[in-house]
Amino acid sequence: MAFMIRGAAVVALALGLATAAHAQKPVTLLNVSYDPTRELYQDVNAAFTAKYKVDKGVAVTIRQSHGGSGKQARSVIDGLEADVVTLALAYDIDEIAQKARLFPADWQKRLPDNSAPYTSTIVFLVRKGNPKNIKDWDDIARPGLSVITPNPKTSGGARWNYLAAWGYAVKKFGGDQAKAREFVARIYKNVPVLDSGARGSTTTFVERGIGDVLLAWENEALLAVKELGPDKFQIVVPSVSILAEPPVTVVDKVAKKRGTLEVAQAYLQFLYSDEGQELAAKHYYRPRNKAVATKYAATFPRINLFTIDEMFGGWTRAQATHFADGGVFDQIYENR
Amino acid sequence: MTDIDKAMLAAVARALHRLRFGSLEIVVHEGRIVQTHFTLGTDRTTGGPRFRGEKSMVTIRRKTGLVLVWALNAVVAAPQLLAQQDSAAAATQQRLDDLDQQVKILSRRWELYQDSVINAAKSRPSVSAGATGFQLKSAEGNFVLKLRGYLQADSRVYFSDDAQVLTNDLLLRRVRPILEGTVYRYYDFRIMPDFAGSAPTIFDAYFEARFEPEFAVRAGKYKPALGLERYQSATDVKFIERGLPTNLVPSRDVGLQIAGDLAGGVLNYNAALFDGVPDLASGLNDVADGKDLVGRLFIVPFAKQAENPPVDLGFGIAASTGNELGNTTTTALASYRSPGQATVFRYLTSSTAPVTGTVIADGRRERIIPQAYLNKGPLGLLAEYTISRQEVARDTGVTRTTEKLEHKAWQVEGSFFLTGERNSFRSITPKKQFDPFAGGWGAFELTGRYGELDFDDDAFPIYASPTASVTKEKAWAIGLNWHLGRNVKVMVNYEQTRFAGGATSGDRPDEKFFATRFQTSF
C-alpha cells in the first residue's frame, strides 16, 4: 500500500509539473478562410497575437489557409484541423456543422450579428474610363460583353454575385422568377472563364487582362483599385446589390482537442473589438460597429442592399434551388 | 489618325476641286486630276485668262515630266486613301483585340485546366513506399492500407554446455508480415501473423475505434499493457531476447480495451478486460470463466515537447487482477525460461491416469509492474520490477493443497549510441546510413543489462521440483547493435545467467550464450 501511495504521489507531482509546463507553451491556431481575406487576417493576426501576448502572456501563432469558400469547407469536413473557420457564407459553415459535427448547428447564435463581424457587397470592377459604359446589372447582361465571375459551385463570392444579379432581376421584373432566370442566363453567356475562387477571378481580370467587367466583393474591388492604381481600374456601384455577411466560428472539437479553445474564442471576439473593426474597415470590409462605420462612411457608397433571407428565404433554400447539383445554375451554365 | 485629322483632310480634298498654283490651274473630279491648264496671261480680246490648249498640256507633260502629275494625283488622292487605311486599321485593331482576348481566355482556361488536373490528382488515392512500409491512401486520408513487416534471423551458440542441453542453432526467430490500416477515419485494424514457428500463429489481430486521442476502444488480440519491455516492439528491443521480467507477463491476450492520451500525451491510460492468459503465454481461447482486468497509467512529462524534450522520460505502473482456474489438461499456469530460452521452471504435472498431482491455477492472479524509461541524448535506460502472484492448487488424490505463490523479477538495461544518435524507446534513424560507397557506417549502440528472477520458495517442493526447477536466475548481458539504417539492424549479444537450484545436486550450470541477429523491418 505504501508503494502505491508513493507511486500516486509521484504521478500527481509529474502531472502538476506537466500542467505548469503546458500553461507556458505557445499556441498555434489555424484559421481556414476564404479567398480575399488574406490581407485582412494578416493584419488581424498580428494585432491579436500582440494583444494576447500582453493580456495573457501567451505567444500565439496563427496560420492562415485560403481558397474558395466551398472548397475550404470541404477540406475541414474531410479532416483539415481548423481551430476557427472564417468563410464567405453561412451555408458553408452549416455544411461543416452538419457533415462533420465539429460544432453545434446553432453556431450562428454564439456571436453577435449572426456571427458575421463585418459585411460586404457585390460591385463591378471595370477598366479605366469604363470603355463599355457599364452602369448597372442590365449592362452586364448585354450581348458581346465579357464578364468575369468565379464558379458558384466552389466559390462563396461567386454565389453572392449570382444571387445579387438574380435579386436585381427579380426586383426589375416585379418578382417574375422566369424572367430573372433568363436575365441571369444572359449574364452567364457572357462569362468566358470560371475560376474556382474570387481571388482567381481577380487574377483573370486584372493580371491576365481578360474581360470587360469583374463581379467582385466590394473589398476585393477596392483593394484592386488601391493596389493597381485608379489609373487602370474603376469601380461601378450598381443600383441594387446584396448584403454579404461572411460569418466566423470556432471549430469546437478541434480547438478542444488541440487545447486552443480559449485562444480561438478570444481571436473571434477580437474581430468585434474596436481594433478589429478598424482593421476590417481598413481592408474595405463594412464594419458592424456604428462609430467605426461612420468614420469610414466615405469609403463605402450607399447602395440599396437586400438580404439573402428576404430575397431567397435563407441560404439553405438558395443553395438547394440554385447551386445544388442539377440546380438552376447547372441548368443555366450547361445550356449556354 | 484622329477624327479631327480625318475631317481636316476631307476639307482639304473638297478645296482641291479647282486649284491654282500661279499660272497652273488644276481641275479635280472625284479625287483625280481631269484637267490641267497653264494661264498665258490675259486675253486681250476677252479680258479673261488666256489658256494654252490640250496640245499645250501634252507639251507640258513632255516638258515637266510625268512626275509632277503623278505627285499631284497622289496629293489629291491621299485623304481618301488615308480614310480607307484608317478604316482598315480600326478593323484590324478590333480583330487583333478580339484575338488577343481569345488567346488570353484560352491561356487562362489552360491554366485553370492544369489546376484542375493537379486538384484531381490530389483527389486520387496515393501510393507511397518508405522506411515505415508501403501505403495506399485515399485522397482525403479516410482509408489507408499499410503493408509492413519484419524478419529476424538469429543464431545462438551455447558455451559450457557439454551435455548439449541446449542446441546451437540457426533459426528464424520472427517472420511477421503486418497488414494494418484505417477504414474510414476513426477505425483502425492490424493483423500480424508469425510464420517463424512450426505453424503460422496470429499474434496481433485487432480493431480499434479511435475517436479522439483521449479515447480509443480496441477489441481483439494484442499485447496487454503490462510489462514495459514486452510493450516495446520486438524490432526496437535492445537485446536479442527480452530480459527476465518479461517472464512474468503475458505476451498476447484477447480482450477489450479503452485507452487514450490525456493532457496532450502527458498521461497515457489503458484499462482492459482480457481472457487472462498465464505469464509468457499468447492466448486465443480461455479455459475458464474468470477474466483479467488490466490497467496501466504511464506518464510522459515532456510529451508536448516531443521534438526536443529536455529529457525523454516515461514512467508508470501497470497491474492486473483476475480469478483464473485451470484443470489437469490446461493448467492455466506458465513455465519460465532462461534468457537462452531454456525452460528452467515448470510446475509439477502428471500424465498418469487418473491424473493426479498436476498443479493448476486455482484463484486470484495478480501482477504489479512499476516501470520507467529515460533517454537523454545517446544514453538510454529502462527499468522495471515485476511481481506476479497466482493461487495454485495441487490435488494428489490424497491431499489437496493450495498456495498463493509470488514470483518477482527486475532488470535495469542501458544503451549508448557511440555514433551520437538520440536514444529512444522506439526505433531510431542513424545519422548516416551504412553505405560503403558513400562513406556512411550507420549507428553503433553499446548495450548492457542486469536482471534477476526470484521464484517463490513456497513453490518447492510441493508445486515445483527443486531438482528440475531453479529458484532464482541472475543474468547479465552485453551487446552491440549496428543499425545499418532505419530498416536494417545487426545485433550481437553475450549473456550469462547464474541459477540457484534446478539440479539434482547443487545448482543448474551457468548458461552462457552468444547470439546474433540480422533484422530487417519496414
Mean pLDDT of B491-519: 96
Q: Please report the pLDDT score of residue B344 as a whole number.
A: 96
What DSSP assignment string belongs to B28-64? Answer: EETTEEEEEEEEEEE-TTTSSEEEP-HHHHHHHHHHH
Confidence of residue B350 (pLDDT cuts 50, 70, 90): confident
Chain A residue numbers with beta carbons less than 8 Å from the beta carbon of B141 are 78-79
Distance separating alpha carbons of residues A77 and A64, to the nearest angstrom:
17
Mean pLDDT for the stretch of residues B255-279 = 95
Q: In the structure, what pLDDT confidence band is assigned to residue B60 with cuts at 50, 70 and 90?
A: very low
Contact A105/A194 with Cβ under 8 angstroms?
Answer: no
Cβ distance of B142 and A21 shorter than 8 Å = no
| Neighbour-count burial of A18, counting CB atoms closer than 10 A to its CB (0-12 exposed, 13-18 middle, 19+ buried) | buried
Q: Which of A17, A28, A78 to mutate to test the interface with B (most CBs of B within 10 A)?
A: A78
Q: List pLDDT tens digits, range A183-240.
A: 999 999 999 999 988 889 999 999 999 999 999 999 989 988 988 888 899 999 999 9
Q: What is the pLDDT of residues A289-305, one digit of tens each?
A: 999 999 999 999 999 99
The whole-number pLDDT of residue B26 equals: 58
Residue type, B249: V
Contact B518, B171 (CB under 8 A): no
Q: What is the DSSP letter of B242?
A: -
Q: Which one-letter amino acid corresponds to residue B436?
A: P
The answer to which of A151-165, A248-262, B130-144, B385-399 has the lowest mean pLDDT is B130-144
Task: With residue B11 as reference, give the H or E element that holds it.
Answer: helix B3-15
Cβ-based burial of B252 (10 A; exposed 0-12, middle 13-18, buried ≥19): buried
Helix crossing, B66-122 with B54-64: angle to 10°? 60
A193/B109 CB distance under 8 A? yes
Over the range B278-299, which residues count as b (16 or more CB within 10 Å of their CB) and which as e?
bbbbbbeebbbebbbebbbbbb
pLDDT score recorded for residue B454: 98
SS3 state of residue B110: helix
CA–CA separation, B88 and B84 (whole Å): 6
State whether B185 and A79 contact (CB < 8 Å): yes
- What is d(CA B203, CA B190) in angstroms, rounded to the nearest whole number? 10
pLDDT at residue B229, as a whole number: 97
Q: Assign B409 a pLDDT band (cuts: 50, 70, 90).
A: very high
Residue in chain B closest to A203 (alpha carbons) equals B108
3-state secondary structure chain A: CHHHHHHHHHHHHHHHHHHHHHHCCCEEEEEEEEHHHHHHHHHHHHHHHHHHHHHHCCCEEEEEEEECHHHHHHHHHCCCCCCEEECCCHHHHHHHHHHCCCCCCCHHHCCHHHHCCEEECEEEEEECCCCCCCCCHHHHCCCCCCEECCCCCCCHHHHHHHHHHHHHHHHHCCCCHHHHHHHHHHHHHCCCCCCCCHHHHHHHHHHCCCCCEEEEEHHHHHHHHHHHCCCCEEEECCCEEECECCCEEECHHHHHHHCCHHHHHHHHHHHHCHHHHHHHHHCCCEECCHHHHHHCHHHCCCCEEECHHHHHCCHHHHHHHHHCCCCHHHHHHHCC
pLDDT of residue A321 exceeding 80, the answer is: yes
**Residue A10 clears pLDDT 50, i.e. is over it:** no
Q: Which of A224-228, B211-215, B251-255, B306-310 has the lowest mean pLDDT?
A: B306-310
* pLDDT tier for residue A5 given thresholds of 50, 70 and 90: very low
The pLDDT of residue B257: 97
pLDDT, position B24: 58
The residues in B 169-198 lying below 8 A from A, measured between CB atoms, are: 185
Give A319's pLDDT tier (boundaries 50, 70, 90). very high
In this prediction the ipTM stands at 0.72
**Please, are residues B281 and B251 in contact by the beta-carbon 8 Å criterion?**
yes
Section B375-398 average pLDDT? 95
Which of A7, A19, A195 lies closest to B263 in CB terms?
Answer: A19
User: Which residues of chain B does A209 touch, with a Cβ-Cβ cutoff of 8 Å?
Assistant: 104
Q: Average model confidence (pLDDT) for chain B?
A: 87
Scanning A111-130 for CB atoms below 8 A from B yields none
Is residue A75 over pLDDT 50?
yes
What are the backbone dihedrals phi and psi of residue B71, each rounded to the nearest 5 degrees, phi first? -65, -45
Distance, CA of B378 to CA of B418 (rounded, Å): 8
pLDDT at A219: 92
pLDDT of residue A240: 95
Size of interface A-B (CB pairs under 8 A): 66
Q: What is the DSSP letter of B177?
A: E
Q: How far apart are CA B360 and CA B329, in angstroms?
A: 9
**Can you give the pLDDT at residue B30?**
53
Kindly compute the dihedral angle of the four CA atoms of residues B302, B308, B313, B314, in this order, to the nearest 10 degrees: 60
Residues B81-113 pLDDT 10s: 778 888 888 889 888 988 998 899 999 889 888
The set of cell numbers assigned to B241 is 531476447
Return the residue of B nearest to A80 by Cα: B140
b/e per residue B353-391 (b: at least 16 CB within 10 A):
eeeeebbbbbeebbbbbbbbbbbeebebbbbbbbbbbbb
What pLDDT score was predicted for residue A85? Answer: 97
pLDDT in tens, B454-502: 999 999 999 999 999 999 999 999 999 999 999 999 999 999 999 999 9
pLDDT band (50, 70, 90) for residue B383 = very high
The C-alpha atoms of residue B348 and residue B333 are separated, in whole angstroms, by 10
Task: Give the pLDDT confidence score for residue B41 in this predicted structure.
Answer: 52
Rounded mean pLDDT of A15-33?
Answer: 65
**What average pLDDT does this structure show over B238-251?**
97
Average per-residue pLDDT for chain A: 90
Is A121 in contact with A241 (CB distance < 8 Å)?
yes
Judged by a CB distance cut-off of 8 A, whether residue B125 touches chain A is no
Distance CA A146, CA A213 (A): 7
Query: Does the structure show a pLDDT above 50 at B263?
Result: yes
Facing B104 at nearest CB: one of A11, A25, A210: A210
| DSSP-derived 3-state class of residue B112 | helix
pLDDT cut 90: percent of chain A above it: 80
pLDDT on residue B398: 87
Question: Could you tell me which residues are beta bridge partners of residue B219?
Answer: B207, B256
Q: B77 or A184, which is more confident?
A: A184
Where is pLDDT greater, at A108 or B74?
A108
